Amino acid sequence: MHTLPPPLLAALPAPYQLRLQHDGDDAFAAALYSATRDDLRQMQAEPALIEELIAMQRRMQSHGYRRHFPQAAYLVLLYGDIPIGRLVIEQREQALRVVDIAVLPEARGRGAGSAVLRCLQSLAEAQQLQIHLGVNRNNMAARKLYLRLGFQVQAEDQVQEQLVWRAARCH
């Protein structure tokens, strides 16, 4: 597992913090993933089947991330000492790839996502890196945040948009 520069782990404004994810975070990670899957909860099926499907999708996501982003760092976003989200990020060549960023629904809209992304932008600017991420076209709140922070659509399909952020000095 790749470790990010210590400035990333220390640079968030209080009360937010990032720390490396560990095995003791598995229950939180499962609950966070489940909280982001309202799309599956809207299916006409037995609740137990929906929960099985959510667990299966989480395993598939985890496997896919580890296969496609083998050097990614898995971080837990904290509000004080309380886990409220996660960040999966990988540095490749001249870019930081935000593989995943998720915040619990009850913690959204309070600046956590903005704080993380601004911290990443500061780090990227200092190292002359771009930031790349994908967003589901239906996730209007996240998309609005990314555009407000200066990300630009680089590519899109029917499901996702690929966005990029470049520091003023980046080529």
- Please write the tens of the pLDDT for every residue from 149-162: 999 999 999 999 99
Q: Does position 171 have pLDDT exceeding 70, yes or no?
A: no
Residue 113 confidence (pLDDT) above 60: yes
Question: What single string gives the DSSP state of each residue in 45-68?
Answer: S-HHHHHHHHHHHHHHHHHHHHHH
Nearest CA to 37 among 60, 57, 21?
A: 57
Cβ 57 vs Cβ 1: under 8 Å:
no
Write down the pLDDT at residue 83: 98
Q: What domains lie within the chain, and their CATH numbers? A: 6-20+71-165 (3.40.630.30)
